[in-house]
Structure 1
Amino acid sequence: MADSVTRLLRAGALLLGAMALASGVLCGELSGELGGGLSYRTSWLGNTYGFGDRRWTPNSVEALAVTPDGILFTNALWDEGGGEITMIRNGGVVGVAESTHGWGNNGGDAIAVGDGYLFAAARITNVGNTQAGKPGYPGRDLAWYGVSRRHLARPELGAPFAGGVGNVGGPTRNSFLVLNAVEQRRDGSPRGLAVRNGVLYVANTYRDAIELYDSQSMQRLARWPAPQPGRIAVDGDGNVWAILNCCAARGRTVVRFNRQGQRGLVAPLPEGSLPVDLALTPDQRLIVADNGPRQNLMLFEVRGDTVRPAGELGERGGAFAGGASAGAVPPGSTGVHRFHGLSALAVDGQGNIYVAMNGVGPRPLHAGAANFGVVLESYAPDGQRRWNLQGLLFLDAVHADPARPDEVYAGTRRFRLDLDKTVPGSEWSYAAITVDPFRYPEDAALSDAADGRGVPLMRRIQGRLFGFFTDRHAKYLKVYRFDRSHGEVAVPAGFFSLRHIDGAWPPHQPPAGEWIWRDGNGDGRFQPDEFERSPSGDGAPMQAWWVDSRGDVWLGSFAQGIRRFRLQGLDRNGNPKYSFEHVEKSRMPPPFTRIQRLQYFPESDTMYLSGATAQKPYEAANWDSTGRVIARYDHWSTGAPVPRYVLDVDRLPGAISENGTEGFAIAGDYLFLVEARNAHVRVIDNRSSRQVGVMTPGPEVGCESGWVDMPMPITALRRDDGEYLVFVEEDAHGKNLMYRLQPPSGVVQQAQTQVHPSCAGRKVAGLR
């Protein structure tokens, strides 16, 4: 096996090296000098890697498999950077398998290694019917779910077989086994794979069967009936352990099948267990990952026809355990053995254990990719943690607690900053998960209907911390309260919706029209008497949400001006109170014909608006952009505001209108404007609207960023020492960029530098 390890490591190094060459020459400087004195350095948070060495931790892991030598493989339906199948050795990412991302290819929900091959669950689509029926693609409105077979020593290469299909002309051509050809809206993904002694075992969840294939010919050998089988493992005697009813909320079991497919032994799971994965140790103990309230690994000793509990690994309750008393670990705090949202499990030949967790657990049936971020950990047989990897952010921006700027929040995470550290990527640590699916199962963070929790605006009201969250498309505003009695967990406190939300979530909402919900009884759940319905029907279409420092909620509509919901104090449970009876309306101020973004600062009575004008009309192709005009209005509350400046974004030095702009942030003396397609951050003097520099991704992050593609992707703050921190969404490699800017001294000329100087000569582009 040592030779295979060497080949795998060499393959991983070659893949990473090829990725670096494909992007151009490597760069070395760590800071930039732009615009006659604009000095900054690029850093990041949310991922173990910054991508400066072409490595990143994927933002989703649904399944794990490990060789006896300890080379770990992940699989997921989607990772934005193409790392659906990622290879890890001794806690370090060594490569990706490729051909799982784009042009109809996706990863999947299961993975296995053995017999010289890597077997990965995968999906092939027909690229929106553009390739329907062509060789290597499914027919119209269909998707193929099945198994991609790769050479273990070179997993970027397929291992073709008679009857194999897919990827005609590519490196994985004719190496895909179709299990289920289903309508694209259906979920035909296999949820379990195992291989041993020439047999590939497939949990064909869609067919309610465990299927056996010859691992060389890929011909089917047998099919055993099994209700909704999930993860599977094969013991030394050829028995198959399987999770049955794998995707049900209740009634999951762990059952052993003999070599003839007959059910036998059943593992005695504790009440309330929710098994999501299983594995066997070298001494044939059974380990089951429990994503129920216990949030730990359950060990079982198997002797003949008996199985009995043999211990646990992990603190009961995981990260959701804890208390409010002095000295107690607060609920939500992360750390060793504090699992949260277990999704996958594997064990190598030395008994080392590997786990993946994302805060919620495996992808439900018929759901999209579970891009909640991931923590990967390995534990020695004695329970000591060996290593930890983190890829925590996707469609996330972060925002600081106004009273504690070293504490920053994302949709479901809190990070701690230590800005005395100066090595890029070293300044942050993962401190807490702020969603608790057991205490607050109706949290919008857990609902597809609400597009998850979203992007935070952190505010202090009467000294208390609140989070106001907008989703990726800025359709809703979600309100959460934080208090010591609930530890790190954000308690659902309120919700603004412009119209009825289709589906079963949230329960008890009004049947039509705009509504506001407030958690009247403090339980974080929706009750019929907690909704207020607008007397005016649906709210005006809009995308510009804002919450000012006093807690007032602002809405800038596309065509009907501005509304302001005045905060009416806090209720007895500490929830902010808003009502349709306390709304102020303002007309669309000139020169705007459409508002796309809005930010108001009561301390200076200053309003910032962006959007479209008669001279710069709305562009449907950039529907969620800021628009091409930004204006600052002083003395807004007088009722007759006059713009201090009106900034034509297209006229900024070096601007390319096709890049579009996606968001802006105000801090200190500057307006920071981020472009959509290349993530360049333009630094604008907020008094004169003159551009003083452009910050671009530096070599610390590979001189690259993904596209910025949500309405509130950038936040900024000025520290007491004068340094500016600017955070920008970066989905391609599972993080946020963090620029550390030292403001220029003296007068600076308008700057148009577009590329970080250390990245000169190299392709610098946003990655879709």
Structure 2
Amino acid sequence: MKVLLAKVSVLAVACGLSLFWATRQTPTQEKVLNYTTHWVGNTFEGAGPNGYGRWVQNFVDEIEVTPDGAVITASEWDEAGRCTGIYKDGDVNSDLLKQPPEGEEKAWGWGTGSQAVAVEETTIFIANTGNELVRFRWNPKNIHEWSFLGKVEIGGSEKDNAIAMAARNGLLYLVRKSGEVQVRKTSDLSLVRTFKIEGAQDIAISRDGTLWVIVGNRIERYSPEGKKLAGTVANVEKPTAVSIGNDKGQLIICDDGPRQQVLFYDITNPQNPKLVRAFGEKGGLRSGIPGEVKPLKFFALRGAGTDAQGNIYVAMGLTMGETIIRKFIPQGKLVWEVMCLAFVDCFDALEVAPGKFEIYGQAEIIGFDPTKPPGKSWWLKAITRDHIRYPDDPRNKDLWGGALIRVLQGRRVLFTTPQMGGGFRIFVFEPAPSQIARYVGEITLPNIELWARNVDSKGDIWLSDGRTIFRYRFKGFDAKGNPVYDLDNPDKWQAPAPFTEIMRVKYIPETDTLYLGGYTPEVQPPSWGLMGGVLARYDNWVKGNRKARYTILMPRDDDNLFPKEFDVAGDYIFAVMVKPTKGIPAMVHVYRAETGEKVGVMFPGPEVGGNSGWIDMVHGIHALKTSSGDYLVIVEEDWRGKNLVYHWRPTQ
């Protein structure tokens, strides 16, 4: 036997870019089941047509805080185009900033995709990834109003994008990857001068007009002309952002090192900055119960600032699909927070006590109560990743967002999968009460674009290369708490009739039942990565039966595609489509597991404006039968950064 410790192979993750919006309709010739649509992983429901509506964006590269308490963000990517968001009083702008004319933008998000944003009074400046400097007028009293003011090219290499900006007193300072600093007038964006600061990462302008710049692990002071001045902050382990407070003019530094705090420096004497406050619990997520989320436990700091009244704003997030923005009063009490926790993610549910649920993503634990109204039914409980203690955790960089949670011999084990082909990464949780999970290894089939994969309730891993089915048996845990699998001696079976290619596999060990999705000589693939056009059930599989109890010819969507994925829970099978069906996105077809009989369909309800993007990841749906006989059906919804949870009680 081998203890699972080492990675076997790595496959890249690609992001689906397409989306669809629709109002709720009733599909003809389909029975619509009676269910409630909840959503988890985003503060807002994501209703509204393309370019309009409310959702928290997938990621934040940096933020600017205005004197009146708005947080304006920059990011290179948001699936639905909110690369620059305006957040205020717990709300977000419902009309996205858009550079006209539509279709001619050089950056994602209607020309707003960027790492650099700046604000001066009622003007927002965005240096986008197409090397354009774009200006918008906004209304601080109404964040939903804006107008386009114009743009200029910043010139230079296409790869030398802007990574930081700041504006004050009529001047805009733009920092590029190369260290070039452009100084421009905010009135017309004309170039005043340029200079270079090697290694510059972020910039802030103090009230006296001098510059504070992150260079490596130091925050250095420069004149407006780029001359290095006396005054350096050198005791920050990993500075990620700097700003100047709108209340006292203090230098604010985000330290993403072990302390995980926001640091405030008095720069009244700029030659000798003085630390006057460390905001947040020292150690961040590692403090108290490791991983447990509390307002002052910070992690992955992306930016911070203050408004004119001294309220503090903090933004966090390590990878795509993780954005948390919080507002605190000066004394540290939380006022509001907004968040996005999903991008190419499909969560999995665990009933931890009768009627009590936890929903697991690749790096988060969400509490869920289906008896509460949609939007009020979930809350963030824990972040399971510690990028400080475990810098080699692949979740720190790679997005493997298909999550499966299993309880094996009383211990939680988290399995994650890529969007497309690949195997499983495996994580085990630290001893209680810690909520941090550490990476222990990966199981896959080398040199294979692996589509068929699953982990059964006993912890056995099932894989198929399309022709052969492999089962790697879970053997327990070793002395270090790592799961043990016999990687050299898997059980093997050949694909049974009628399949010529297996695309999905689900095994129910309690009943020795195997479900397969795939293709046959008569039903061939219309595209790649689908679950297949035929679903079959085999009873007594391990005992030797190879005759299907039934086969189901799967439905097709409006693009003639078969479903992306299916799951089995209790008495039912749930299969989700890739693209709209008769104009309705992400339709879930429900079948009776005993007979294969079609029961009905579910799709995004009015609670989310009928909206969903494409389902384009292998594990795009998970289902759970609860102790009360209800079903929770979780479906990927990447377009607006969340998951849908259908709460369904079957009627007999």
TM-score, normalised to structure 1, is 0.76
1:498-517 alignment, distance < 5 Å = 498-499=445-446
1:311-350 equivalences in 2 (<5 Å):
311-322=277-288, 330-350=289-309
Find the counterpart in structure 1 of residue 127 from structure 2.
121
74 and 681 in structure 1: CA distance in 2 versus 1, 3 angstrom threshold: same
Contiguous gaps of at least 5 residues in structure 1? 1-21, 125-144, 161-174, 246-251, 323-329, 361-369, 500-537, 746-768
- The DSSP-based 3-state class of the residue aligned with 2:607 is helix
Worse overlay, 193-202 or 255-264: 255-264
Aligned-pair distance for 1:660? 3.2
Following superposition, the deviation at residue 58 of structure 1 comes to 1.0
Give 1:42 shift: 0.7
Aligned mate of 1:406, from 357, 363, 370: 357
Aligned pair 1:470/2:472, yes or no? no
8 Å CA contact 1:544, 1:555 repeated in 2: yes
Which deviates more, 65-74 or 373-382?
65-74
Aligned 1:258-657 pairs, distance under 5 A: 258-270=223-235, 272-304=237-269, 305-322=271-288, 330-358=289-317, 360=318, 370-401=319-350, 403-404=352-353, 406-421=357-372, 423-447=373-397, 451-485=398-432, 487-499=434-446, 538=447, 540-558=448-466, 560-619=467-526, 622-650=527-555, 656=558
Tell me, yes or no, if the aligned pair for 2:22 and 2:609 is still in contact at 8 Å: no
- State the Cα deviation string for residues 654-713 of structure 1 (Å, max 9, x = none): x64624311111111110110011211111111221211111111110111011110001
| Corresponding residue SS for 1:592 | coil
**Structure 2 counterpart of 1:118, one-letter code:** I
Q: Counterpart in 2 of 1:84? A: 83
Secondary structure of 1:110's counterpart equals strand
Q: Secondary structure at the match of 1:319?
A: helix
The aligned counterpart of 1:181 is 157
C-alpha deviations, 1:630-662, integer Å up to 9, x for none? 1111110122321111110138xxx64624311
Q: Distance in 1 between matches of 2:525 and 2:219?
A: 56
Q: Distance in 1 between matches of 2:152 and 2:138?
A: 15
Structure 1 segment 748-767 matched on structure 2, within 5 A: none
CA contact (8 A) 2:98 2:148 kept: no
Give the equivalent residue in structure 2 for 1:193.
Answer: 165
Q: Report the Cα offset of residue 744 of structure 1.
A: 2.0
| Structure 2 CA distance for partners of 1:350 and 1:282, relative to 1, 3 Å | same
* Alignment equivalent of 2:137, drawn from 127, 133, 151: 151
Match of 1:215 among 165, 186, 202: 186
Shift in Å, 1:482: 1.6
Pairwise CA distance, 1:434: 0.5
Distance in 1 (alpha carbons) for counterparts of 2:264 and 2:68: 22
Identity score, percent: 31
> In 2, Cα distance between the equivalents of 1:263 and 1:121?
25
Aligned to 1:39: 34
**Mapped contact 1:549–1:601 kept (Cα < 8 A):** yes
Q: 1:197 and 1:271 mapped to 2: Cα distance?
A: 28
CA deviation profile, 1:51-76 (whole Å, cap 9, x unmatched): 24631111211121233222322111
Rounded to whole Å, the distance in 2 between the matches of 1:233 and 1:551 is: 51
| Distance in structure 1 (CA, Å) of the matches to 2:28 and 2:525 | 35
Q: Amino acid of the residue matched to residue 40 of structure 2?
A: L
Q: Distance between the aligned counterparts of 2:203 and 2:32, measured in 1?
A: 60
Residue 605 of structure 1 and its aligned partner are, at CA, apart by 0.5
Partner deviation per Cα, 1:11-38 (whole Å, 9 max, x = no partner)? xxxxxxxxxxx9677x8x9x99996683
Separation of aligned partners in 2, 1:444 and 1:691:
40
Partner of 1:75 in structure 2?
A: 74
Aligned to 1:127: none
Deviations 1:721-762 (A, max 9, x none): 2211100000111110010111022xxxxxxxxxxxxxxxxx
Does the CA contact (< 8 Å) of 2:237 and 2:256 recur in 1?
Answer: no
Cα drift, residue 718 of structure 1: 1.2
Range that drifts further, 707-716 or 303-312: 303-312
Q: For the Cα contact (< 8 Å) 1:594–1:618, is it kept in 2?
A: no
**Candidates 623, 632, 640, aligned match of 1:725:** 632
CA distance in 2, matches of 1:32, 1:625: 23
* Structure 1 equivalent of residue 12 of structure 2: none
Q: CA deviation at 1:615?
A: 0.6
Report SS of the residue matched to 2:477.
Answer: coil
Hey, what does 1:366 align to over in structure 2?
Answer: none
1:104 CA drift (Å): 4.0
Pair 611,484 (structure 1): closer, same or farther in 2 beyond 3 Å: same
| 115 and 657 in structure 1: CA distance in 2 versus 1, 3 angstrom threshold | closer
Q: How big is each residue's C-alpha offset from its partner over 1:262-301, in whole Å with a ceiling of 9 and x where there is no partner?
A: 2124343436343433333432211111111111101111
1:203 alignment partner, one of 175, 190, 207 = 175
User: Does structure 2 conserve the Cα–Cα contact (< 8 Å) formed by 1:43 and 1:424?
Assistant: yes
CA distance in 1 between partners of 2:79 and 2:449 (Å): 29
736-745 or 281-290, which deviates more: 281-290
Separation in 2 of the partners of 1:377 and 1:34? Answer: 47
Q: Is the 8 A contact 1:46 1:736 kept in 2?
A: yes
Q: Is the 8 A contact 1:412 1:453 kept in 2?
A: no
The equivalent of 2:577 in structure 1 is: 675
The code of the aligned residue for 1:318 comes to G
Partner of 1:533 in structure 2?
none
Work out the number of aligned pairs and report it.
Answer: 610
Q: CA deviation at 1:716?
A: 0.7
State the secondary structure of the residue aligned to 1:445. helix
- Distance of 1:401 and 1:338 partners within structure 2: 25
In the alignment, residue 201 of structure 1 is paired with which amino acid? Y
Contact 1:403 1:460 in 2 (8 A): no
Which structure would you say has the larger RCO, counting Cα contacts within 8 Å and 6 or more residues apart?
2
Residues 693 and 497 of structure 1, relative CA distance in 2, 3 Å threshold:
closer
Give the equivalent residue in structure 2 for 1:98.
98
Q: Tell me which protein shows more helix as a share of its residues.
A: 1
One-letter amino acid matched to 1:331: P
Counterpart in the other structure of 2:118: 112
- What amino acid sits opposite 1:550 in the alignment? K
- Greater displacement, 35-44 / 468-477: 35-44
Change (3 A) 1:611 1:109: same
How high is the TM-score relative to the length of structure 2? 0.88
Partner of 2:647: 740
C-alpha contact 2:281 2:296 (8 A) present in aligned 1: yes
1:12 matched residue in structure 2: none
Q: 1:123 to 1:268 in 2, by over 3 A?
A: closer
Contact 1:113 1:195 in 2 (8 A): yes
What is the CA–CA distance in structure 2 between the aligned matches of 1:697 and 1:37, rounded to whole Å?
11
**Partner SS for 1:717:** strand
What corresponds to 2:15 in structure 1? none
- Once the two structures are TM-superposed, the CA of residue 99 in structure 1 deviates from its matched residue by 4.0
Which deviations, in whole Å up to 9, do the C-alpha atoms of 1:318-341 show, x marking residues without a partner? 11223xxxxxxx101111111111
Task: Using the TM superposition, give the Cα deviation of residue 375 of structure 1 relative to its aligned residue in structure 2, in angstroms.
Answer: 0.6
Question: How far off is 1:393 after superposition?
Answer: 0.8
SS in 2 for 1:149: strand
